[in-house]
Structures are given as C-alpha cells and as structure tokens.
C-alpha cells in the first residue's frame, strides 16, 4: 500500500502553489500580508494589476502597477492607455523625458510623434462619444505630437466649432 510521507504533506504548500491559489481566488490582499519578500510582493501586485485591468478597472490597475517595484513599463503603459492617462503613458514610453517640438533627438521625437498620431487615430476610431473622443485625440496630437494643425483638424472633425 501507499504510505504518506512528510513530502506528501507539504505538496501544494510551496509559494508557487499558494500564488496560483491566491490568483484563482483573488486573494491578493491576503497574499501581500502572508508573503513579505520583495519578489513575492512584486509578483502578487503585478497579478492584482492584471486582474483589475481584465475587469476594466484600468485606473486602479495603473495605481497598482505604479507601486510595484521595479515598475513594469509595459504594464504601466497598457493601463495608462486604457484609462487615457497620457501623461503617465508617455512618461513611461519615453523615460528620458518629453522634450519640446524642437527636440534635439530627432529619432525620439519622430517616435513620439508617430505614437501620438497612432493613439489619436485609435481614439477617433474607438466608437465612443464623438465629441469627447475627438477632444482627447486633439489633446494627444497637441501635447505629445506637437502637431497644432492636426489638433485643430481633429477638433473640427469632432464638431467642436
């Protein structure tokens, strides 16, 4: 027959098994109380952020991602984009900072302008309330793409005049 060993008693009691259970039952707060190492807390916070983002709570997910150390720029950007927090989005997309339209680094400037244009186009085609979306798209074009002409055109398309 089968005799139970000490190892059998401990199966499922390791951190990975507990983390899977915490995720499945959405017991992140309890996990943060139980597991105190930086790496364990980081994993739990990132999973909590993922859970919140999946539940369409992008603002809350963004807050959680921002306190997870080290910060995962990709996750922060995803949450910031979902809740239209462009300041945070662009700060993490371009950690060296956002310069003016006279940016000496032309490659970074071009990347930023292309990203601002892509986001503005994505917003315009999102199907949300027209005036709000076009105003937001114009703001992105102006603040992060430094494109005054396109910002005004976007406002006109959104019937702001």
What value does the mean pLDDT take over residues 49-63? 97
Strands (E), the chain: none
The greatest distance separating any two alpha carbons of the chain, rounded to the nearest whole angstrom, comes to 84
pLDDT of residue 13: 77
Residue bearing tokens 């039952």: 25
Strands (E), 17-161: none
| pLDDT tens column, 18-34 | 999 999 999 999 999 99
Would you state the structure tokens that stand for residue 68, as one six-digit string? 């997870």
pLDDT band at 10, cuts 50/70/90? low
Q: Give the separation between CA 16 and CA 81, rounded to whole angstroms.
A: 31
| pLDDT tens column, 114-155 | 999 999 999 999 878 888 999 999 999 999 999 999 999 999
pLDDT of residue 113: 93
- Measure Cα distances from 14 to 29, 45, 48, 108, 112 in Å: 18, 19, 20, 45, 44
pLDDT band at 14, cuts 50/70/90? confident
Burial of 65 (0-12, 13-18, 19+ CB in 10 A): buried
Would you state the structure tokens that stand for residue 113, as one six-digit string? 């302008």
Mean pLDDT of the chain: 88
Whether the link from the prior residue into 43 is cis, omega within 30° of 0, is no
């Amino acid at each position: 027959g089968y005799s139970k060993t000490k190892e059998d008693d401990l199966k499922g009691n390791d951190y990975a098994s507990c983390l899977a259970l915490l995720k499945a039952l959405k017991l992140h707060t309890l996990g943060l109380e139980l597991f105190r190492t930086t790496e364990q807390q980081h994993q739990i916070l990132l999973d909590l952020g993922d859970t919140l983002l999946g539940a369409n709570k992008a603002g809350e997910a963004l807050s959680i991602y921002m306190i997870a150390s080290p910060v995962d720029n990709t996750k922060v950007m995803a949450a910031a984009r979902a809740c239209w927090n462009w300041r945070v989005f662009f700060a993490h997309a371009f950690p060296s900072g956002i310069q003016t339209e006279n940016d000496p680094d032309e490659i970074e400037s071009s990347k930023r302008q292309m990203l601002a244009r892509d986001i503005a186009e994505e917003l315009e085609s999102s199907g949300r309330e027209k005036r709000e979306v076009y105003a937001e798209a114009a703001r992105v074009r102006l603040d992060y793409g430094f494109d005054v002409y396109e910002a005004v055109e976007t406002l006109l398309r959104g019937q702001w005049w």
